[in-house]
Structure 1
Amino acid sequence: MAYIIGSILVIIALIITGLIMRKRVYDVVDRLEAWKMDIMNRNIASELSRIKDLNLSGETQEKFESWKTRWENIVTKELPDIEEYLFDAEEAADRYRFPSAKKTLHHAEQTLQSIEQKIEEILEELDQLMASEESSREKIERIQPGLKALRKTLSQNRHQYGKAESRFDAELDELEGELQRYHELVASGDYSEARELVEELKLKLDNLTAEMEEFPSIYRKCKYDLPDELDELFKGMREMKEDGYRIEHLGFEKEVHHYQRQLDGCMNALEKGDTSQANAIIPEIEERIAEMYQLLEKEALAKNYVETKITPYQDALNAMVNKFDVTKEEVETLKQSYYFEDSDMEKYLSLDKSINQLHKQLDETRNAVEHNNTAAYSDLRKEIENGLKDLETLEEKHEEFKERIRNLRKDEIDAKENLKDMKNQLYQVTRRLNKSNIPGVPSFIWNKMDEAVNKNNRVLDALEKQPLDMGEVQDALSEARTTIDYVSEQTETILDQAYLTEQVIQYANRYRSQYPELAVKLAEAERLFRSYEYELALENAAKAVEEVEPGALKHIEEFQKAAN
């Protein structure tokens, strides 16, 4: 029983599955049928009828027949085949031959996609043809007035084109011939070739328009403007030479003739309608003419500068020579009394040499101005400008050298004053030692004082030498100053130590009887004090009193400062 029920259920499941799969086949059949009907209902014939607005001949007629044939083949053969495919698929589904049905439907769908692609290609080719015809027609509508305008321009302005008029006439005739060829191609229905011709025609017209627009300006520059400018430039150079300007070195005359010959060659090319040579040479000539005028103006300004500045330059240099002559006399006098360092003599000789060189250069410049007609004023101007700068530098160096000379005398006076001060300082140190109540002066102080006296004498000897060597004087002064400062400093230190030692011993005497050990140390300090060992005496005394009364030394020092 269970097997029977199971078998029944399996059969039911198979039937349901078969029905579902058959339903799916029917759905695909319905979708493809609708797609087929949509294609059949499209008004392709109406779209193709748009071509009747064109000339149905030649290439257009061939394309129209091709599109019509392809569409009729779709309607009469390919779409009925689709119907057969769909019928076969339904029949296979009814018999539960689903793989076969699926294969048939796939083939039908591919066929419909192919049909869609063919239709799209037909309509795209149609649109391209219609757009090409429209675009060509619009361009021709603009080209025709352009050709007429160029023809009118050439007719009304023939003098601006010279002999090149015939070449432009010929090109316009050629373009008009191509325009007529376009109309013939349109009349014969060859719109693709007509479109290509229009593109070429437009490009040629644009180029010819640009060339005819720029030609009068180029022609005028080469025939009139630039030759006139070159003639004017040549005339101006001749007048400058007559007025004494020196411009031969610039070589402009040869250059002007060269450009005149180049312009003649440009005119020969322009008469044939060729502007390439002129376009290349015109900017060069215009730029060079501007440069020539700038250089001529520079030469004119240089002449005025030279004529204006050469006399003041001569006067300034003469004044410098006179000043330096005074310095020379002063140097010769001072050399008898003073010794000049090598560096100072080098500066002096360098000044003398530089002044002589400037004088020589100025003589050459003046000679070139007055007698040498080939020297350019721009070069002479540079020489004067450089000379004025050099003269200014020499004046500064001369003042520095004069200051150095003045310092020689000032240094001598200062050295004598310093020597006097040091002698007085040494006298005061000796006087203070003699007036002090200390038992005696350490021998090293007297030795240093003797050394200081000897060094002062060395300074005096250096000052009395002829010629005076201030370098030697300064060295001797420095050594003497160092020694005397040392003596003063050490004297001050010894006197302070001696006085403080006395104060400490006096202060410590109050404890002498109470502390025998202190009394012994104080006795030793007194012995050292009498032996001129003031530093050791102070050290022993201070140590002794600090042991009895810590802080006593600081108290004594403060008292001593207050007393002083």
Structure 2
Amino acid sequence: MVGYIIGGILILIVVIIIGLILRKRIYDEVDQHESWKMDIMNRNVSGELQRVKSLNLSGETQDKFETWKSTWDQILTRDLPDIEEYLLDAEEAADRFRISIAKKNLAEVENILQNIEELIERMFKELDDLLDSEKQSRKQIEDMQPRIKELRHSLLQNRYLYGKAEPIFEAQIMDLQQLLDRYQEEVGLGNYYEAKDLVTQLTDSVEEVAEKLEEFPLIYKKSKNEIPDQIKDLLAGIEQMKEEGYRIEHLGLEKELNNFLDQLSISVEQLENGDMFQIYELIQAIEERLIEIYELLEKEAKAKSYIETHIASVKSNLTSSINDFNSTNEEVKQLQQTYYLEENDLELYAKLDKWVHQLEKQFAQIEMDLESETQTYVTLKDQLKSSKDDLEQLHHSHQEFKEQLQTIRKDEVESREKVLRLKKELFDTNKKLQSSNLPGTPSHLWNLLDEATDRSDVVIEKLEKQPLDMGEVMHALSEAENTVNALVDQSNALIEQAYLVERVIQYANRYRSKYPLLATKLQEAETKFRNFEYEQALDTAANALEEIEPGALLRLKEFVDIST
């Protein structure tokens, strides 16, 4: 039982402590809000609002001032006293430990104070905006006034540059002055926001009029005088070119230029009425087109000069090429009777034939177009230049083909000369073998001689064949050359080996009586020599000699080389 009592007492103590802490927090918040309220009450809001009195306090400015003053009075006489009551209610509720009611009152105070701060901030911002607006507008007006005077002075001094449009620009400047006067009126009435809008409108209008006054004389002068005069000169030049034979009638330039004159005439009327809309773009487009026409006529003149300069030479070169190809044509026919022409040679010949006829046809068309006057010189120049370039390429290709034909004949002559040389080499080799005083010649060498003779005869047969196939001739000649060269090399090697064997045996005989084994080897070498086995005989004799006198074979070889 005692435990329950003690527990209850402890709980009561805790509750009381918590209540005291919460009440203390309420008191602290009351003090904070009281300080916030006093801070607002002591602010010099009225003094700040008095700044507006530097302006004309009438119209919308007067309305603004009255609204701000009324708002501040309401804050002082109504909102702040209401806050005081809420704070007292919060303290009383805290005294009675009615914490939730106290917090509700403090929340209401917080809301009111926050709204007051926002109202004050909004008033100050509106005040600053009004003062800044007035200041900026006044500065801009100070800049605009001399600009308007300058525009009027410039127009008066240069009125001759504006023609009939001068009164229109004068009226636009008067409109600027009226905007300026309206600004002064609105300022006098205290309508500074309306005045600011007028300043913006006036600034844009001044810039627009200034730009027009600057651009108008140039556009007006070009539209009325410069470009029409340029077009008339161009029309006269076109007429003169037509009289001189230029093919420009179908280009329709005169119609296009006269249309430009009509458009410029309309543009002048628009300019004199003060309308510059899209006229600058029209002038720019016409000027660009005139440059294109000048370039076109210049190209036509250069093309005519080019044709007059080159057409005779192109015709002469074409005639020469045709005659030259006709000669080649006859030569090909003769060659086909004697030689077998390769497929690629015949294809190249057919291509050249087609090329010649095509160029002949193209040039004939150019001459017809010159006579009929249906094409511009620029077009004909391109065609003539293309024909001229093709003619040069044709000449180059034709020369290469002629060289190929000459090569066929040259190959035949060279092949006949080579086969004669091969025959002579065979004869000389045979004679050399027979006069070499050898015991005999190996059968494989005679077989090789027969083969080389047969292959040389095959070349001669190919050369006598009609039509002559140089491909077959060259192949047979290559085989014959290889065989003859092999025969010559092997014959020379054989004779050299045989001679060297004799020298080795003769040299080794000095040791024959002293060295019985050497004598036996030399006897064996002599037997092989008589059996036409010259290479084996050399190996046997040389090895035996080297065992007795190392290095002797090398010295004998050098001696044999010197002797031969």
Deviations 1:176-195 (A, max 9, x none): 44444434433333333333
| Partner Cα separation in structure 2 for residue 22 and residue 382 of structure 1 | 107
| Partner Cα separation in structure 2 for residue 117 and residue 346 of structure 1 | 100
8 Å CA contact 1:247, 1:376 repeated in 2: yes
Number of the residue aligned with 2:263: 262
Q: Does 1:229 align with 2:222?
A: no
Deviation at 1:353, TM superposition (A): 6.1
| Partner Cα separation in structure 1 for residue 397 and residue 315 of structure 2 | 19
Deviation at 1:217, TM superposition (A): 2.4
Amino acid in structure 2 at the alignment position of 1:299: E
Q: SS state of the match for residue 247, structure 2?
A: coil
| Partner Cα separation in structure 2 for residue 146 and residue 17 of structure 1 | 77
Cα 1:73–1:470 change in 2 (3 A) is same
Number of the residue aligned with 2:446: 446
The 5 A counterparts of 1:130-209 are 130-165=131-166, 167-209=168-210
The 5 A counterparts of 1:316-355 are 316-317=317-318, 331=331, 335=335, 338-339=338-339, 341=341, 343-344=344-345, 347=348, 351=352, 354=355
Deviation at 1:501, TM superposition (A): 9.9
Cα 1:347–1:73 change in 2 (3 A) is closer
Q: Does 1:37 align with 2:38?
A: yes
Number of the residue aligned with 2:415: 415
Cα 1:177–1:408 change in 2 (3 A) is same
Q: Does 1:114 align with 2:154?
A: no
| Partner Cα separation in structure 1 for residue 15 and residue 278 of structure 2 | 94
| Partner Cα separation in structure 2 for residue 267 and residue 390 of structure 1 | 54
8 Å CA contact 1:500, 1:538 repeated in 2: no
Number of the residue aligned with 1:63: 64
Deviation at 1:66, TM superposition (A): 1.5
| Partner Cα separation in structure 1 for residue 104 and residue 192 of structure 2 | 45
| Partner Cα separation in structure 2 for residue 11 and residue 400 of structure 1 | 127
Amino acid in structure 1 at the alignment position of 2:245: G
Deviations 1:230-250 (A, max 9, x none): 111101111222233332243
8 Å CA contact 2:546, 2:552 repeated in 1: no
Which stretches in structure 2 are left out of the alignment for 5+ residues? none
Deviations 1:230-289 (A, max 9, x none): 111101111222233332243211221222222233334334433234233222211110
Number of the residue aligned with 1:425: 425
| Partner Cα separation in structure 1 for residue 18 and residue 278 of structure 2 | 90
Q: SS state of the match for residue 185, structure 1?
A: helix
| Partner Cα separation in structure 2 for residue 438 and residue 191 of structure 1 | 140
Deviation at 1:115, TM superposition (A): 1.9
Deviation at 1:396, TM superposition (A): 2.2
Deviations 1:26-76 (A, max 9, x none): 554444333333222221111111222233333222222221111111112
Deviation at 1:291, TM superposition (A): 0.6
Deviation at 1:132, TM superposition (A): 2.3
Deviation at 1:487, TM superposition (A): 3.7
The alignment covers a number of residue pairs equal to: 552
8 Å CA contact 1:317, 1:359 repeated in 2: yes
Deviation at 1:153, TM superposition (A): 4.3
Amino acid in structure 1 at the alignment position of 2:79: E
| TM-score, normalisation: structure 2 | 0.77
8 Å CA contact 1:426, 1:449 repeated in 2: yes
| Segment of structure 1 superposing worse, 458-467 or 294-303 | 458-467
Amino acid in structure 2 at the alignment position of 1:80: P
Deviations 1:73-96 (A, max 9, x none): 111222233334444555556666
8 Å CA contact 1:336, 1:466 repeated in 2: no
The 5 A counterparts of 1:487-498 are 487-488=487-488
Deviations 1:157-177 (A, max 9, x none): 445444445554554455544
| Partner Cα separation in structure 1 for residue 336 and residue 90 of structure 2 | 141
Q: SS state of the match for residue 246, structure 2?
A: coil
- The alignment-based identity, stated in percent, is 45
| Partner Cα separation in structure 2 for residue 333 and residue 87 of structure 1 | 135
| Partner Cα separation in structure 2 for residue 10 and residue 458 of structure 1 | 139
| Partner Cα separation in structure 2 for residue 335 and residue 267 of structure 1 | 81
8 Å CA contact 2:526, 2:537 repeated in 1: no
| Segment of structure 1 superposing worse, 82-91 or 37-46 | 82-91
| Segment of structure 1 superposing worse, 80-89 or 282-291 | 80-89
| Partner Cα separation in structure 1 for residue 219 and residue 336 of structure 2 | 83
| Partner Cα separation in structure 2 for residue 50 and residue 356 of structure 1 | 102
Q: SS state of the match for residue 276, structure 1?
A: coil
Number of the residue aligned with 1:473: 473
Q: Does 1:244 align with 2:245?
A: yes
Q: SS state of the match for residue 74, structure 2?
A: helix
Cα 1:527–1:150 change in 2 (3 A) is same
Cα 1:96–1:363 change in 2 (3 A) is closer
Number of the residue aligned with 2:460: 460
| Partner Cα separation in structure 2 for residue 412 and residue 255 of structure 1 | 71
Deviations 1:78-120 (A, max 9, x none): 2233334444555556666666555544543443332222211
Cα 1:387–1:94 change in 2 (3 A) is closer
Deviations 1:277-312 (A, max 9, x none): 423322221111001101111111122222233344
Amino acid in structure 2 at the alignment position of 1:291: E
| Segment of structure 1 superposing worse, 493-502 or 65-74 | 493-502
Cα 1:25–1:349 change in 2 (3 A) is closer
Number of the residue aligned with 2:286: 285
RMSD over equivalenced CA pairs, Å: 5.0
Which stretches in structure 1 are left out of the alignment for 5+ residues? none
| Partner Cα separation in structure 1 for residue 145 and residue 93 of structure 2 | 68
Number of the residue aligned with 1:309: 310
Cα 1:130–1:350 change in 2 (3 A) is closer
